[in-house]
Chain A
């Protein structure tokens, strides 16, 4: 049997983490290939529903990353995002959605190495947790019915 390769979706802001991930590449730092990066104008724009949709579409893990506090291109987008994440995390935890599968981080445009580290460690965590079958079962409820 081949080893489980986690599917990871990264929601990142254009100004810091996306540029940071770019730096990781231009610095020729190798990191896990499991991540699919989605670029947003700002972490404040990352709707909580998008995270659920990622799980619904088969992601095993999620990274959400943006500018460090006080570094937001739009001055306060990440502060608002932080509050939203605090609330969202609490709600997901109550609902039994595995919050260990969502990694939040601040990665600046100068932190190419940190980005590689975030991705690698997230891949490692998700590899240990295994595929997100609980959510996949719920998301694939109808398909399963039809097949049976």
Chain B
């Protein structure tokens, strides 16, 4: 994408930003995140359908913050994460240049976070039909069978926490799972620890997840953990009527309405 390379070069040459976070050539036929600090290196930037990593994850990392003001290459999932991070006061408008990339691979620059939100209002989160079907299939199983299904699905998990590291919204600098006095969640590949870890991860993302699937893409064992967050996204929409990131609305679980409806509390 020449336009992207040109823009990044101008930004670095004029010293408007000190680092460009983008996609570059990775091993095999994959792409990886690259951090460009010299204008001459900008030609390493690429953008195509292989660029699926969510770069927004780097915006909150101390190591990247140290490099100075960043510009970030942002396809739709990254834009969503940026809005969510902004809503959670994790990033500031003046400390970031967003180089948006539309699904048609056109470069768009955003003046403000509000402009990103407006842009996203025409690109709403949609749970793909195949996922909806899988979730429905799982929900239609008898409870015991469903439990066995998940114990089996989660069995390969060995707690590498790649799902956590890849997620732009898992930005806590200290995490419960690193606590070992006492060990809250077993670090072994134990079915109970696996279950507890994935429940905790999903619950901490409830009402915040922007459905970028970075967790699933990062999982070395291909565990369909994104089904949990997708299902929760549907639950949030059904129960609280909010869907997707928003600058002026609080997260579903950070807010409440006195007349929230449920049917199970006696």
Apart from A82-B256, A105-B266, 11 more pairs, CB < 8 Å: A79-B258, A82-B262, A83-B252, A83-B255, A85-B264, A91-B228, A93-B139, A94-B228, A95-B199, A96-B143, A138-B195
* B contact residues vs A (CB 8 Å cutoff): 135, 138-139, 141, 143-151, 184, 188, 190-192, 195-196, 199-200, 202-203, 206-207, 227-228, 231-232, 235-236, 239-240, 252-253, 255-258, 260, 262, 264-266
Beta-carbon contact of A87 and B265 below 8 Å: no
Residue in A56, A94, A98 whose beta carbon sits within 8 Å of that of B196 in the complex = A56
Residue in B141, B147, B227, B235 whose beta carbon sits within 8 Å of that of A134 in the complex = B147
Chain A residues with Cβ below 8 Å from B228 are 91, 94-95
Given contacts A80-B256, A138-B195, A142-B190, are A87 and B147 in contact (CB under 8 A)?
no
Instruction: Show 13 A/B contacts (Cβ-Cβ < 8 Å), sorted by A.
Output: A52-B195, A56-B196, A85-B262, A86-B235, A86-B239, A90-B232, A91-B206, A91-B228, A94-B135, A106-B265, A134-B144, A135-B147, A138-B192
Secondary structure at the B interface, as helix, strand, loop or mixed, is helix
Per-position binary interface string of chain A over residues 83-116, scored 1 when its CB falls under 8 Å from any chain B CB and 0 otherwise: 1111111111111111100011110000000000
Beta-carbon contact of A94 and B265 below 8 Å: no
Beta-carbon contact of A94 and B266 below 8 Å: no
Chain A residues with Cβ below 8 Å from B264 are 85, 89, 99, 104
Beta-carbon contact of B191 and A138 below 8 Å: yes
Chain A residues with Cβ below 8 Å from B232 are 87, 90-91
Asked whether A37 is an interface residue with its Cβ less than 8 Å from the other chain, the reply is: no
Can you name the residue of chain B whose Cβ is closest to the Cβ of A105? B266
Beta-carbon contact of B199 and A48 below 8 Å: yes
Beta-carbon contact of A94 and B253 below 8 Å: no
Beta-carbon contact of A96 and B266 below 8 Å: no
Residue in A49, A84, A86, A90 whose beta carbon sits within 8 Å of that of B200 in the complex = A49
Beta-carbon contact of B256 and A104 below 8 Å: no
Beta-carbon contact of B231 and A83 below 8 Å: no
Given contacts A86-B262, A87-B253, are A52 and B147 in contact (CB under 8 A)?
no
Can you name the residue of chain A whose Cβ is closest to the Cβ of B238? A90
- Give Cα A98–Cα B239 distance, bound, in whole angstroms: 21
